[in-house]
Structure formats: structure tokens, C-alpha cells
Amino acid sequence: MINEKLSDKEKLAQLRHSAAHLLAHAVSELYPKTKLTIGPATEEGFFYDFLPEQNFKEEDLPLLEARMHEISKRNLPLIHKQVPKAEARKLYKDNQFKLELIDKIPDDTVGIATQGEFNDLCRGGHVETTGMIQHFKLLTISGAYWRADRSGQTLQRITGTACWTDKDLAAYLKRREELEMYDHRRLGKQLDLFSFHDEGVGFPFFHPKGKSVVNTMVDWMRKLRAENGYYEVSTPTMLNEKLWHQSGHWAFYKDNMYFSVIDETTYALKPMNCPGSFLIYKTRPHSYRELPLRFGEFGHVHRHELSGALHGLIRVRAFTQDDVHIYCTPDQIESQVVMIIEMIKKTYTKFGFESFQFAVSTKPEKAMGSDELWEKATNALKKTIENANVTYVIQEGEGAFYGPKIDVNIQDSMGRNWQCGTIQVDFFQPENFDLTYVAASGAKERPVVIHSAVFGSLERFFAIVLEHHKGALPFWLAPVQATVLTITDAQKEYGQKLVDKLKEQGIRVIMDESSDPISGKIKSAQMEKIPWMLVVGNKEAEANTITLRYLNGKQEFGLTLDGLIKKAQEA
Ligand SMILES: [Zn+2]
Ligand SMILES: [Zn+2]
């Protein structure tokens, strides 16, 4: 029964779970020897796990869908009732999975859903009739394990989705196709940017073009940091385990760290850059006149993630943080956070994001330090962000273990949110590492540390940017910015002259050396998503001009070399 008090989301989940029953019903009619297990609704649709007599194949999906439509047309009422366990055990005497489920239910009775001749063990929550399930699609077949236990029985999972209208279903399928088409893992392969290998699971390999993008990101950040008075530092990848005990990482994070023994001493691969930065700070005394002191690093960190959690460049086991540690007085927190917020806004805009939100995260369950320190730090961040004229939300309990933070979420062109930038105020590590500065009075005081990153992880940010632009990176960031396309071989000399002149200006340019017709050259430049095609025929060679063709097919005629260089510098 559809309960009117349910939210739209809950009603949709009921429809989708009912669609899972519909699928199981179709399977039991077409392949009666299949054993049914479970079929819940998911965020995006539903699945059902089966133990088939013979494995299902892709070609079976349309057949199953057709039978589902047929059962839908029968408009069978979905009846759910509680029955004694003994009765249920009899009903499922040949299905070890259902018997196991029945045993796990603490009550004396269990729920059975019935539609026509078909029944399924189930807790309930359905639409009223099979006729209400009309707009659905089966999507994938994959392997699964009974109770998600890798040592357990292997099953086959069929996934699908169901919506209330055909329009919703079409929109869902279009979005799904788009996400698949512009998945950065697919684009990375297509555009020859990066790869992954079994020899280093979760560790990305950057190819020349991918490395070019990463370097351009680093160049941007170096320039922005220099403008804001940062110094660049670098700290070792491996450091003595003792340091991680001192920093608290060992206590809170050791399960995600890699260790190695050298000369009978245990070292850890750094999961964060902070302790290294503190050691640099501590090498000499600091005066209040030096503060705020800003150390920026591109720190390569290792964090152990479960292999199942890895996802292209989004979730890796080693990545580069654009990590910053600012040492300042409590009075300087506000001005520093305002500066970082400006850097974040400038960067995200430059990379083509129009929408981003700020969130202030407060004390988590596992935390160091007193409530009083936490309150002081949290209030400082809230006050600052209020004055920074941006919208923000409060995320209760989402702070780091050493302090409250501001997280920045980007919204991409496909409507997804990604947390990238972060600003964390830290009152505890300065205490922990005994960091000091000499105040105007001559007394030793504690600085505050602000940890911050704009990209977060360079690798992950690259993936997000790539998907956001659907592979067509903006001119300034593209690994190959321009390609010279001659109409015939007769213009090759003129073309080469253009390449040389543009390279002198630091523009990443190539020439298509093939003898393909111009239409073929344009097509391959489009495939490679090169933003500028410089088309030159006899007319251009004679007049010393260039026709500029963009990826979207728009063209500008009669450009001079100087005009083109100026355009490139402004892009
Ligand atoms: Zn059910
Ligand atoms: Zn840090």
C-alpha cells in the first residue's frame, strides 16, 4: 500500500523495490530453477541477486524486460502478509538462501509478498499492483556474493531502475549515458592522459599529456601562492614512525598508513605533510615580525584504501596535495582565512566552475583537545566566513580530529558535488610540537597553524575538471593547445614556421603531419579534443594568415600570427 505520509523519495524506493519483485517474478516464470535471494531498492534503482541454473547473459535482459511488462499488464495486486515461520520454511524448503534469511528474523512470523502465483519473502513496502510499475529498464548483469561475503556463494546480480513516468526514466538513462561517456577513466584512456597497472594498484601513472595538465595546475598554484606571499617547501616521503606517534596520526590513522623497516627502525610513508612542515618551522626561532609565515608544498602522500574503494583518479592510494601550513597569531586567523577563500574562488572560477559552496565543520566524536579550544577555533571560522560574503552551511561533527574546518564543495556540469578545498584551524599541533614565536614583549608565544588546500588532491581535482569539461579542457589547461592543419602538403613549410613561432611563445602546438584530407585532420583533432585548429591553405600561406577553428566548429578567418599569439595569452 502506498502510505500518503511517505516522502517522494520513500515512495520511489517502494516503486523500485516492487520492480525488483517484478523482475524476480519474470525470472521465476522464464527460468523456474533459478534461486531467488534478495532484491532491495538502491539510490539509483534496484537490484536482485539470483543463483541461476545457467548464468544470465546480456541478451536475456530484453527478454526479462518483456516478461516484466507482461506481468505488469496483468495488474496483479501486491499482497503482503505475516505468516508463521514454519509455513515460510515449507514454502522455501528448496531455497537455502531464504531459509537462512528466515532463521535470522527474530520474530515468530515473517512477511511474504504475493502477486498472482508468485511469492517472495519480504519485509514489505510496495506499490498496490504490478500495473503501477510501467516505466523501468534493466541495466546490468554482474557478479555478487551472498551476504557480500567474498568467501561465500557467488550469485548474479541484475540491476535496473524504475521511475513514475517515461520522461523521468528517459532523463535518468540520458544522464547515466553521459556519466559513462565522460567518466574520467574512459577519457583518460581515450586522450592518452594516464593509466593504472596491476603492478601498483591504486597508484596512477601519468602519460606525457596527463603530466602536462598536472604541471599546468602546479604552475597556476605556484603563481597564485607567490602573489600571496607563500614560500614553497618540500618534505620527505618517509619519516620515522615516532613522528607519527607524536602527531597523533598513528593513533587515529595507522590503519591507512604504509610502514617500512629500514636499519631496524620503522618508517611510515607520510599520509599528510603537516609534521614535516612543523620540523622545518622548528629549525630556528621565529619573531612575531615574520608572521604570518606561509609554507606551501606539493606533497606526495600515501594512504591505504581498500581495493574495492579505489576509483580512477578520484580515489587512489597515492596523491599530491597542494598543502599549505600558515603559522600565525590568533589575531591573524581571520585575514589569512579570507585570503585563502579568495584564492579558492579565483582558482575554481579559472578552472571553469560556476558554483561552489562553503561548509564549516565542527567537533567530531574522535577528537584531540578541550571543548573550550574547539569553541574558540570554530567561532573564529564562522566569524571569518560570515565576513567573507559567501554562503555556508554548518556540518556538525565533520571536523578533523585536531580542529574545526571549512570545506569547499564544487558543483560540476553534471550536477554532482565534490568536496575539494579545505581550510583547517589547528590549536593543538602547535602545542603538540611545541611550536613557538617571540612576541613583541619578548615572551615566547604559541602560533596557530592553518592547514589549507585549494585543489585538495591534484589527481582527484584533475579527474573532476576532466569530467566537468567532458574531456574538452579549456585552452590554457589543454595538454595540446593548438594543431596546425594544412589543406595540402604544399603549406607544410608555412605550417612549420607557425609551429616554431608559437612554440617560442610557450604555446603547446603540434602539426598534423599526415596526408589525410582536411576533413580527416579536423576529425582527429576533434577526437583529441584540441581546442584550437589552425587551418592553413594556399590562401592563408600567401596572405600570411591563419583560419582558427574551434572544437565547436566556429571559425575565425584572416588572423595574423601576432593576433593569434595575443588571443592565446588572453585565453
Ligand atoms: Zn517486497
Ligand atoms: Zn597539515
CATH number at residue 63: 3.30.980.10
pLDDT for 1 beyond 60: no
The answer to whether residue 477 sits within a structural domain is no
CB 153 within 8 A of CB 146: yes
Answering whether pTM is above 0.75, one says yes
Pair (389, 316) in one structural domain? yes
Pair (140, 213) in one structural domain? no
Pair (159, 28) in one structural domain? yes
Which of 468, 497, 526 lies at the terminal end of a domain, its last residue? 468
Kindly give the distance from the C-alpha atom of residue 323 to the centroid of ligand 2, in angstroms, as a whole number. 7
Question: What are the tens digits of pLDDT across the range 260-278?
Answer: 999 999 999 999 999 999 9
> Which residues neighbour ligand 1 (ion) by CB within 5 Å?
113, 122
Residue that the C-alpha cell 585552452 belongs to: 475
Kindly give the distance from the C-alpha atom of residue 175 to the centroid of ligand 1, in angstroms, as a whole number. 28
Q: Which of 16, 302, 303, 460 is catalytic?
A: 303
Question: What are the tens digits of pLDDT across the range 89-103?
Answer: 999 999 999 999 999
The answer to whether residue 248 sits within a structural domain is no
Question: What are the tens digits of pLDDT across the range 128-146?
Answer: 999 999 999 999 999 999 9
Which CATH number characterizes residue 342's domain?
3.30.930.10
Which CATH number characterizes residue 536's domain?
3.40.50.800
* Residue with the larger pLDDT of the pair 452 and 400: 452
Kindly give the distance from the C-alpha atom of residue 170 to the centroid of ligand 1, in angstroms, as a whole number. 25
Which of 437, 468, 499 lies at the terminal end of a domain, its last residue? 468
Is 107 annotated as catalytic?
no
- Report the range out of 82-86, 150-154, 367-371 with the highest average pLDDT: 82-86
Return the pLDDT at 391.
77
Pair (291, 333) in one structural domain? yes
* Low-confidence winner among 21-35, 113-127, 216-230, 355-369 (lowest mean pLDDT): 355-369
Tell how strand 154-163 and strand 194-195 pair up: unpaired
Q: Report the domain count for the chain.
A: 3
CB 298 within 8 A of CB 218: yes
Tell how strand 482-486 and strand 509-511 pair up: parallel
The answer to whether residue 432 sits within a structural domain is yes
Pair (123, 220) in one structural domain? no
- What is the chain's mean pLDDT, rounded? 94
Pair (290, 407) in one structural domain? yes
Pair (146, 221) in one structural domain? no
Return the pLDDT at 23.
98
The answer to whether residue 118 sits within a structural domain is yes
Pair (360, 402) in one structural domain? yes
Mean pLDDT for 489-504 is: 96
CA 379/CA 373 separation, integer angstroms: 10
CA 258/CA 198 separation, integer angstroms: 18
Binned at pLDDT 50, 70 and 90, residue 8 comes out as very high
Return the pLDDT at 387.
80
DSSP 311: B
The answer to whether residue 536 sits within a structural domain is yes
Q: What angle do CA 75, 80, 85 make, to 5 degrees?
A: 140
Pair (559, 491) in one structural domain? yes
Mean pLDDT for 329-354 is: 92
* Low-confidence winner among 264-278, 385-399, 402-416, 465-479 (lowest mean pLDDT): 385-399
The answer to whether residue 252 sits within a structural domain is no
The answer to whether residue 380 sits within a structural domain is yes
Return the pLDDT at 6.
84
Rounded alpha-carbon distances, angstroms, from residue 331 to 288, 328, 334, 335, 439: 12, 8, 7, 8, 13
Pair (332, 212) in one structural domain? yes
Range of the domain at 406: 189-233+280-468
Binned at pLDDT 50, 70 and 90, residue 4 comes out as low
Pair (391, 531) in one structural domain? no
The answer to whether residue 338 sits within a structural domain is yes
156, β-bridge pairs: 50, 143
Pair (134, 220) in one structural domain? no
